[in-house]
Amino acid sequence: NAGVTQTPKFQVLKTGQSMTLQCAQDMNHNSMYWYRQDPGMGLRLIYYSASEGTTDKGEVPNGYNVSRLNKREFSLRLESAAPSQTSVYFCASSDLAANEKLFFGSGTQLSVL
Amino acid sequence: DAKTTQPNSMESNEEEPVHLPCNHSTISGTDYIHWYRQLPSQGPEYVIHGLTSNVNNRMASLAIAEDRKSSTLILHRATLRDAAVYYCILRGGGSNYKLTFGKGTLLTVNP
């Protein structure tokens, strides 16, 4: 099992460019999440999808959009990248119950110049 | 959302036990206590979780206070590979989906 797969692993953008971060999970999980992590900081929730067909804002949604394409895939889009969005982005997935663990991808390191 | 409070950093010596505390005074009756850790340059990984009773697995033990307002992650014999940031989060009830992480505790293990 691959678990949670994120692509790309690294990306450099210029200010104003757009891009989509891809995330896929093969564990048949209902819930998926996007987090960002700035240097020396904890994880901050950008958006989450409790189940297929639903998405909700997290702590820091401004400047991002998401799509829950199907049960497996949850993408994060930056429409007009800004230097403040330079960060490491993690995708995670889980089943719905409170005693279910989260599984994380290996992250995407994004630099916006 | 129920919040957790952890020390910013802790230090331990190799092969000694480590007790990582977490306060969660606003925990609700349906909240599970989860612990994750993040090794350098990696995504977080699950460590352990519990509801009311103490829990053990191959990685660690989780001790939960009787009033559930605090918990302690116990690494019985720290190794250099245990150096990581440890996160304590609550999951359940209203926070079941909107899972928030704080800054965690940076554990340094000295040889």
pLDDT tens-digit profile, chain B (111 residues): 568 999 999 999 999 999 999 999 989 888 899 999 999 889 999 999 999 999 999 989 999 999 999 999 999 999 999 999 999 999 875 556 677 788 899 999 999
State the pLDDT at residue B2: 61
Calculate mean pLDDT across residues A35-55: 90
A97, pLDDT greater than 90: no
Tell if the CB–CB gap between B103 and A41 is shorter than 8 Å.
yes
Alpha-carbon distance of B90 to B22, in angstroms, equals 11
pLDDT confidence of A98, banded at 50, 70, 90? confident
Contact A93, A4 (CB under 8 A): yes
Tell if the CB–CB gap between B99 and A56 is shorter than 8 Å.
no
State the pLDDT at residue A32: 94
Cα of B66 to nearest chain A Cα, Å:
19
Chain B contacts of A50, Cβ < 8 Å?
97
Tell if the CB–CB gap between B104 and A42 is shorter than 8 Å.
yes
Contacts across the A-B interface (CB distance below 8 Å): 64
A107, pLDDT greater than 70: yes
A60: contact with B, CB 8 A cutoff: no
State the pLDDT at residue A21: 98
> A34-65 burial, b if ≥16 CB within 10 A, otherwise e?
bbbbeeeebbbbbbbbbeeeebeebebbeebe
Cis preceding linkage at B21, omega within 30: no
Cα of B15 to nearest chain A Cα, Å:
27
Q: Which of A41, A90, A96 has the CB atom closest to B43's CB atom?
A: A90
Cα of A45 to nearest chain B Cα, Å:
6
State the pLDDT at residue B56: 95
Contact B28, B3 (CB under 8 A): no
Cα of A79 to nearest chain B Cα, Å:
24
State the pLDDT at residue B35: 96
Q: How many Cβ atoms from other residues are within 10 Å of residue B58's Cβ?
A: 5
Alpha-carbon distance of B61 to B75, in angstroms, equals 7
Tell if the CB–CB gap between B44 and A99 is shorter than 8 Å.
no
A99: contact with B, CB 8 A cutoff: yes
Calculate mean pLDDT across residues A54-62: 93
